Amino acid sequence: MTRTVVVTGGGTGIGYAVAAAFAAEGAQVFITGRRQSVLSEAAARLGEGARTLVCDATDPDQIEALRDQLPTTVDVLVNNAGGNRDLDTPAGPQRLGAVGLSGQSGPDDLHALAASWRANMEGNLVSAVLMTAALNKQLAPGGAVVHIGSFAADRGAGSYGAAKAGLNSWNTFLARQLGARDITSNVVAPGYIADTEFFRDKGGEQFHQARVAETMNGRAGYPEDIAGTVVFLASPAARHITGQVINVNGGAVTTR
């Protein structure tokens, strides 16, 4: 039977690799994102059967509209949409691990701080909650929900890390709720993944090499490394795995 798979942020990077892996298995794949041009280009590469739906995963109205365009049964939901707003600040990735209070003082900066925290909470945590809640009734018994977290959850990475840590916590709650209907819920937590828009033009070679040096296997991760784990978690072989955070990070050491 053809499975229906929804991948948020499926037009680029990890989400695209996940969508491609499911499409290769013959699934009917729906990819979402905020840019139609990106989605259309991705769908052309995914091949016949891939569908695109423009939807901001933080916007309840857009998500309700999305739900109405999806089939009545969804087998797999991959909450992949996300990003780190703080990477777009001038200091960029150097602020990873420091974003929060560092450099933020005085009443004016509280507005910037609030904006950063709200954006990262909405983009990485609230988005997954809203998408799952919207599709809840459509999720089929025997199905799976997989959230893309991050090793940043354990690395003291400010608002982004806190949002991903919140995702881990909520996943435990969700797994109990969905478990009664034979639906699994797990987080796949990537380490540093090269070749996506996330760090593109932001980290540079020095940043790249520093992340590789943190791993046990001396390599960067790539989107396909994450896709394989997501597909496994949605497979019959993984029916008894739920409520877990699966680290896919080359053994990168957690630094606090």
Cβ atoms within 10 Å of 202's Cβ, excluding its own: 14
Stretch that binds ligand NDP, among 34-42, 66-74, 86-94, 98-106 (CB under 6 A): 34-42
Q: Which is nearer to ligand NDP, 33 or 166 (CB)?
A: 33
Kindly state whether residue 93 participates in binding ligand NDP, applying the rule CB under 6 A.
Answer: no
Rounded Cα–Cα distance for residues 108 and 85 (Å) = 19
Q: Clarify whether 160 is annotated catalytic.
A: yes
Number of other CB atoms surrounding residue 41 within 10 Å: 15
Site for ligand NDP contains 56 (CB under 6 A): yes
30 binds ligand NDP (CB under 6 A): no
Task: Produce one character per residue of 4-18: b if its CB has 16 or more CB atoms within 10 Å, e if not.
Answer: bbbbbbbbbbbbbbb
Stretch that binds ligand NDP, among 63-71, 97-105, 110-118, 186-194 (CB under 6 A): 186-194
Q: For residue 244, how many other CB atoms are within 10 A of its CB?
A: 18
CB closer to ligand NDP, 3 vs 164: 164
Report the distance separating Cα 34 and Cα 144, nearest Å: 24
Q: Is 218 exposed, middle or buried (0-12, 13-18, 19+ CB in 10 A)?
A: exposed
- Selecting among 16, 160, 192, 222, the annotated active-site residue is 160
Active site residues: 160
- Contacting positions for ligand NDP (CB under 6 A): 8-9, 11-15, 32-35, 38, 56-58, 80-83, 123-124, 127, 148, 150, 190, 192-193, 196-199
